[in-house]
Amino acid sequence: MSKETISKSKTQEKTEASSSAASKKTTAKSSTKAKAAKKEVVEETSEYSEGKQAEVNIGTIGHVDHGKSTLVKALTGTFPDTHSEELKRGITIRLGYADTDILYCPKCPEDKKWTTQAICPVCGKETKIKRRISFVDAPGHEVLMATLLTGAAIFDGAILVIAANEKCPQAQTREHLAAMDAVGIKNIIIVQNKIELVSEEEAIKSYNDIKIFVKGTVAEGAPIIPMSAVHGVNLDYLVKTIEDVIKTPKRDEKVEPRMFVARSFEVNKPGTIPEELLGGVLGGSIIQGVLKEGEEIEIVPGIRKDKLYEPIKTTISSIHAGTLGRVKEAKPGGLMSIRTFIDPAYTRSDNLVGNIIGKPDKLPSVLEELKLKVNLMDFVVGVEERMKVSKLAIGEQLMLNVWTAITLGVITSVVKGNVITVKLTRYVSTEKDTRVAVSRRIANRFRLIGFGIIQ
Ligand SMILES: Nc1nc2c(ncn2[C@@H]2O[C@H](COP(=O)(O)OP(=O)(O)O)[C@@H](O)[C@H]2O)c(=O)[nH]1
Ligand SMILES: [Mg+2]
Ligand SMILES: [Zn+2]
């Protein structure tokens, strides 16, 4: 097989044919899904979104039921649902997703001017847009740490939600914060939620417990905002704090583009005839640079063939950014999906998660072995009992999260106790100085034990 994908010509012809004839009805006898997808291609050609693309990704983390999704709903108007339309479009990572504009009132003072409303809730003036922000929401049930870590690879900051009416910390509160530590997310805001359910005394006690809990973690010194997400209490203050704490990182549009793939799938129903197949879709977030419709791209490590990986070269047929819809070009921030001409069999079932998209020959190397300088935590998170993290040993199997890639590996050497070489079962495209989350199997589950820096 060549590096070009096998079905490129057919799919390309088909897609181009349908997109060039906006008026032509598709004669799809195939599935509703395929029909819907085609119809979308037809409609897409006429309309590009004029909205502002999200420019910063904020993760919501914390224990189940403490109010993360309710908070995202209060901020964006959308309850982040992992089974929604976004999922089909590839802009979730088995995590929820929503985005919103941050607006400001030109009349009100700094401490009152920030809002997500088109009309200033304080003075009634029309507000102006500052930027669009996106939220990646951890699902309600106990999310696999691996999934959270995959999401964290694209976070620019995080909101840790802690309910004021429960003891702090709860199991996932501890786990999620440790994940931020492992991945190196520093811009954290703590929301002390459900404040209306407790007395003033209890609120102060909960506030102090939170302060003690985050001491010595990445969230030490983070602002703590008492809120009621369900009633929207202190929402304006949270918006202002997001503006202060989770700023849009400096983006250089001239650097080579790089997108982390966090989802991959196909939009065709089983049984669709080859002539009507639409190419594979990749979802994720651009980390640097700009990707444009019609551009040639390369996807690495690519497809596994026997023991080796073959990079994929293809063309971007269209880009959907966040909840905006189709855009001509996409920049860092928010989740997006990229439609390509590659054989959808390759993108099926998240097969290409962990890959990197960029310009041909401009991507980081594909590695089969990593040398890591590891920083182990003192105690294992996610287990009931207080369990010390024991030393790393040759022959031990680890799970590593490298950007959005999840791979297993076996330690082949240990130097001075903390510099290890790991032979990977699944190759990764990455580079020196990348921070990698390290987990080990404890009682049949992988538990986070620290992070490593690629040497
Ligand atoms: N009383 C009260 N309930 C809340 C508040 N925020 C969320 N809830 C409720 O807490 C439950 C869990 O909220 P959800 O957002 O799903 O939590 P998540 O699991 O952290 O995403 C729901 O029944 C919400 O209505 C709040 O500020 N006050
Ligand atoms: Mg939730
Ligand atoms: Zn105002």
- 234 in contact with ligand 1, CB cutoff 6 A: no
> Is residue 28 included in any domain, yes or no?
no
The residue segments making up the domain with residue 421 are: 366-454
On the question of pLDDT at 7 being above 60, the answer is no
What is the overall mean pLDDT for the chain? Answer: 86
Testing ligand 1's pocket by substitution, the residue of 61, 68, 70, 159 carrying the most ligand atoms inside 8 A of its CB is: 70
How many distinct structural domains can be found in the chain? 3
In the reported structure, the alpha carbon of residue 38 is separated from the centroid of ligand 1 by a whole-number distance in angstroms of 38
How close is the Cα of 125 to the center of ligand 3, in Å?
6
Q: Are residues 431 and 330 in the same domain?
A: no
Can you tell me which atom of ligand 1 is nearest the CA of 161? 20
Classify residue 47 as exposed, middle or buried by CB count within 10 Å of its CB (0-12, 13-18, 19+): exposed
Does the pLDDT value for residue 43 go beyond 90?
A: no
Which of 230, 233, 234, 238 to probe ligand 1 with, by most ligand atoms within 8 A of CB? Answer: 230
Considering the chain, what percentage of its residues have pLDDT values greater than 70? 86
* Same domain (yes/no): 340, 412: no
pLDDT exceeds cutoff 90 at 150: no
Q: Which of 245, 271, 286 is where one domain is finished?
A: 245
Question: Over the stretch 310-325, which tens digit does the pLDDT of each residue have?
Answer: 999 999 999 999 888 8
Q: What is the pTM of this model?
A: 0.86
137 and 188 housed in the same domain? yes
Residue 10: pLDDT over 70: no
Q: What is the mean pLDDT of residues 49-73?
A: 92
Q: What pLDDT is recorded for position 38?
A: 41
Q: Looking at residue 34, what is its pLDDT? A: 36
Ligand 1, atom nearest to 66 Cα: 20
Average pLDDT value for residue range 122-149: 85
Q: How confident is the model at residue 253 (pLDDT cuts 50, 70, 90)?
A: confident
List for the chain the helix, strand, coil content (%; round to 5): 20, 35, 40
Domain limit, last residue, from 245, 272, 303: 245
Closest CA to 319 of 344, 291, 351, 341: 291
Residues 210 and 284 grouped into a single domain:
no
Q: Is 317 a domain residue?
A: yes
Which is more confidently placed, 1 or 299?
299
Structural domain contains residue 29: no
Whether residues 235 and 289 fall in one domain: no
For residues 266 and 117, membership in a common domain is answered with: no
Tally helices (H) and strands (E) across the chain: 9, 23
- Please indicate, yes or no, whether residues 444 and 376 belong to a single structural domain of this protein: yes
Q: Is the pLDDT of residue 224 over 90?
A: yes
User: Which residue owns the Cα nearest ligand 1 atom 26?
Assistant: 194
Give pLDDT, residue 139: 67
> Which one of the ligands is nearest to 193 CA?
1
Per-residue pLDDT tens over the stretch 160-206: 999 999 999 988 888 899 999 999 999 999 999 999 999 999 999 99
Whether 266 and 198 share a structural domain: no
Tens-digit pLDDT profile for residues 75-90: 999 888 665 555 555 5
Give the whole-angstrom CA distance, residue 34 versus residue 31: 5
- Shortest-distance ligand to the CA of residue 172: 1
In this prediction, residue 118 carries a pLDDT of 94
329 φ, ψ (degrees, to nearest 5): -145, 155
Q: What percent of the chain has pLDDT over 90?
A: 67
CA of 186 to the centre of ligand 2 (A): 22
- Kindly report the length of the chain: 455
Per-residue pLDDT at 273:
84
pLDDT of residue 8: 37
- Does 25 fall in a domain? no
Say yes or no to pLDDT of 272 above 60. yes
Instruction: Return the DSSP state at 276.
Output: G
Q: Please write the tens of the pLDDT for every residue from 345-391.
A: 899 888 999 999 999 999 999 999 999 999 999 998 877 788 999 99
Name the band, by pLDDT with cuts 50, 70 and 90, for residue 41: very low
Instruction: Say what the pLDDT of residue 11 is.
Output: 38
Q: Are 312 and 295 in contact (CB under 8 A)?
A: no
326, 403: one domain: no
Predicted confidence band of residue 91 (pLDDT cuts 50, 70, 90):
low
Residue finishing a domain among 193, 222, 245: 245
Give the C-alpha separation, 81 to 70, whole Å. 11
Regarding whether 213 and 274 lie in a shared domain, the answer is no
- pLDDT tens for each residue of 389-411: 999 999 999 999 999 999 999 99
Ligand 1 within 6 A of 193 CB? yes
Average pLDDT over residues 111-121: 94
Please, are residues 293 and 318 in contact by the beta-carbon 8 Å criterion? yes
